[in-house]
Amino acid sequence: MENQKNSFNNFFKDFLNQEQQKAISPKNGVLLVHAGAGSGKTRVITSRIASLIINHSVDPESILALTFTNKAAKEMKERVKNFLQENTKLPYVGTFHSYCLRLLKSSKYFSKSNFSFSLIDEDDQNKIIKGLIQKHNLDKKITAKQVLSFISKIKNETHNPETSSAFLLANNIFQELYHMYEKEKSISNCLDFDDLLIKSYRLFEENPEFKAEFQQKIRHILVDEYQDTNQIQHLILKTMCLNKASENGDFAIDSLCAVGDEDQSIYSWRGATVSNMLNFKKDFKNTVSITLEQNYRSVQPILDTANSVIQNNKYRNIKNLWSDKQANDRIRVIQCASGYQEGQAISLFLKELTSITNDFNTSNAILYRSHFQSRAIEEALIRFSIPYKIIGGIQFYDRQEIKDIIAYLRLILNPFDRLAFLRIINTPTRGLGPKFEEDYLNQWDEQPFLNFKEIAQNFIENNQLTKNKLDQLKSFLEIFNDLSDQDKASNIITQIISRTNYFSYLDQNFEKEDSQSKKDNIKELINSAIFFEKNNSSFSVKEFLEEISLLQELINSNNSNNTQVYLMTFHAAKGLEFDNVMISGVEEGILPSSHSTYIHESLEEERRLMYVGITRARERLLISYTMHRTIYGQISNQKPSRFINELPDIYIKKDDCSKWPYDNFKYYFQNWINNKKYNYNFDQSYTIDSVVNKPSTSSWMIKQKVEHKVFGIGTIEKIENNALNTYLTIKFNNAIKKIDAKFLKSI
């Protein structure tokens, strides 16, 4: 025991700074720890648990530590365990929901009146709501996801959902469905995950004996990531710790320690409210505030940049991050001509970084506000053979909505494509279910030389379907009227979206944010087609699908290598850190997003996203924005984000790279990475959608033999150049193909 104490106290003295020690050493009292990014908050909370057990002889079973993910809870348990001797009891460390479930299951006060209960998951909830919607013929008015989102929102707002602002402002349909949903659960004696919090709160408030027993047993409470708590979680904490939570009563346990950072509060869309931290002192008397400002992650210029941006927020407690890691020239901001040039610039930076450092293990990340932004970046990475991995999302051409639209294109190109047919016959939903699909395929097996239209015509002529199914099948066939694989892909995609009402289908089947994200992805698919068409007038559906196939082929070959860079949104990046971070698309309407521009609280959250992005970087930070973007086929003039103007000029170098060719970028990044001073006078004009890697034709000749991984060996018959690539028309044994030169090898 003495060895354990000596070991911990040596750690306390040697590895914790003065402010961290202030948060760890007291046994009793209320502590609010404002832990800046990279300041060691997990170290503080786990060390405090260990200190209570080792130095203050606190019974581990009287300690409760709450966090937000099972992953975080597991990490905290392991760290606490490392401080303690083997076989020492561990305190409870878990999520709010898991602890509330434990309380309800074990409490005689709850089970006495409710007997046993079942916990239902999201699928169960969905089934209940869908059944209610169908029963009351509301299918065309509302979706299950909309209702579930509404129910979760009002339950996270307060312990009494029917008094929440969302409930009072909702239309009658939502209110009625809420009541019917609650009745269905009650009949089955079931609770959903949000009920765990509400029922636990009421258990504390309505059962003084239960509350007294809890406060007698649990004497020390610690909460991690407090900026991510919602209103009901804050109420639960108050009623756990105070004699009368609703009346701001006296503190009833020995200690409470809440750790968080309001500057990283970025989850308002799922109920989190930054006000819980800002109002903490009002709700808990005699709170001692401790601010952790020393950062152990980033070099100082990156922290100075983050401080400069976040100080423009009003709703925060002031802190200034600092570090012992001094450095110069670690942040660059570049203005690109277009999203395509931006993707190529980022790729070139990564190429030079790997080449100069000769280190493939360096961690790198590209951050963006929305998933649709990844498409141009992914294509650039693929063309430069840079292996990547998307965190919290999937590769652009593997996304559900993109595969749906591509399946329509595939069926236009190849009317015998059964996989494409099966994907879209009920997308959007047409009521042509599994039995129809089975019958359809059976007929297709019997008559394999007929295409999908001819098989459908057989069904129609033989009157094999009910009137409703017959009408739906005819409507499906009408989608393909006058559509040819020789037409431009951008026009065809637009027609498909219109004729299928695909955007309405997304609105009806996905929550608002998910639906908008999927629409943005489809618009980006159209942008991709338009870009290729601009550079090749004969670029049709056929060539577009071939281009996508070649890109996917390169993705698969790149995946065999080690990941060189991670792609993710700002939300997915929270809690992570990387040596080099690239923040793309820092433009008005993107970051901050267009819907947040005129709402002060939303704008502050967007600024917090920027702050989170900046503070992910350890060594270097590259920020980029564009002058123009192609949005739904139209070239849009873009404005730099207001956050660009909030960056401190003293720590960063801003460069207009919009007219630079390939060699200039290479020279620029080489000098930056090598910490060399530079004197550039770049002035070469390019069009809006030009990119940095202008091809050279010197290595290709007519009649030259080349090799392709899929098509084999062929002969060059024609060479075409544009601002992006060289396209070669190749004669293979069985076909003539036009292929991007990057996919070919000279032999």
Check if 239 is active-site.
Answer: no
Two structure tokens written together for 697: 């034709």
Two structure tokens written together for 289: 């505030």
pLDDT digits (tens, 9 = 90+) for 519-571: 999 998 998 888 778 767 667 888 888 888 777 766 666 555 567 899 999 99
Is 519 within any annotated ligand binding site? no
Is 538 within any annotated ligand binding site? no
Residue 25: left if φ>0, alpha if ψ -120 to 50, beta else—which one? alpha
pLDDT digits (tens, 9 = 90+) for 363-407: 999 999 998 899 899 989 988 888 899 998 888 888 999 999 999
Is 42 within any annotated ligand binding site? yes
Which CB contacts under 8 angstroms, 24+ apart, belong to 715-724?
Answer: 720/536, 721/695, 721/697, 722/535, 722/536, 723/535, 723/686, 723/687, 723/689, 723/690, 723/691, 723/694, 724/340, 724/531, 724/535, 724/690, 724/691, 724/693, 724/695
Closest CA to 657 of 203, 333, 404, 314: 333
192, 194, 224, 401: which is the annotated catalytic residue? 224
Unique residue bearing structure tokens 């404005």? 639
Two structure tokens written together for 384: 């430069």
Q: Is the bond preceding 592 in cis, omega lying within 30 degrees of 0?
A: yes
Residue 311 confidence (pLDDT): 96
Is 35 within any annotated ligand binding site? yes
H or E stretch at 92: strand 92-95
Two structure tokens written together for 84: 């303690």
Burial grade of 131 (CB within 10 A; 0-12, 13-18, 19 or more) = middle
Q: Roughly what angle, to the nearest 10 degrees, separates helices 70-83 and 2-15?
A: 120
Q: If pLDDT is split at 50, 70 and 90, which confidence band does 512 have?
A: confident
Check if 43 is active-site.
Answer: no
The mean pLDDT of 587-604, rounded to a whole number, is 92
Could you give the C-alpha distances from 100 to 103, 338, 708, in angstroms and in order? 5, 50, 60
**Secondary structure class of 298 (helix, strand, coil):** coil
Residue 556 confidence (pLDDT): 65
- Is the CB of residue 265 less than 8 Å from the CB of residue 191? no
Check if 224 is active-site.
Answer: yes
Is 339 within any annotated ligand binding site? no
Whether residue 694 has pLDDT greater than 50: no
297, 616, 618, 620: which is the annotated catalytic residue? 616
Task: Supply angle C-alpha 384, 711, 547, rounded to 5.
Answer: 45
Q: Say how many residues make up the chain.
A: 747
Is 38 within any annotated ligand binding site? yes
Residue 383 confidence (pLDDT): 84
Is 41 within any annotated ligand binding site? yes
pLDDT digits (tens, 9 = 90+) for 429-488: 898 888 999 999 999 999 989 999 999 999 888 877 888 999 999 999 999 999 998 889
225, 262, 263, 587: which is the annotated catalytic residue? 225
20, 41, 215, 362: which is the annotated catalytic residue? 41
Check if 42 is active-site.
Answer: yes
H or E stretch at 214: helix 208-217
Distance CA 34, CA 277 (A): 9
Check if 41 is active-site.
Answer: yes
231, 264, 305, 564: which is the annotated catalytic residue? 264
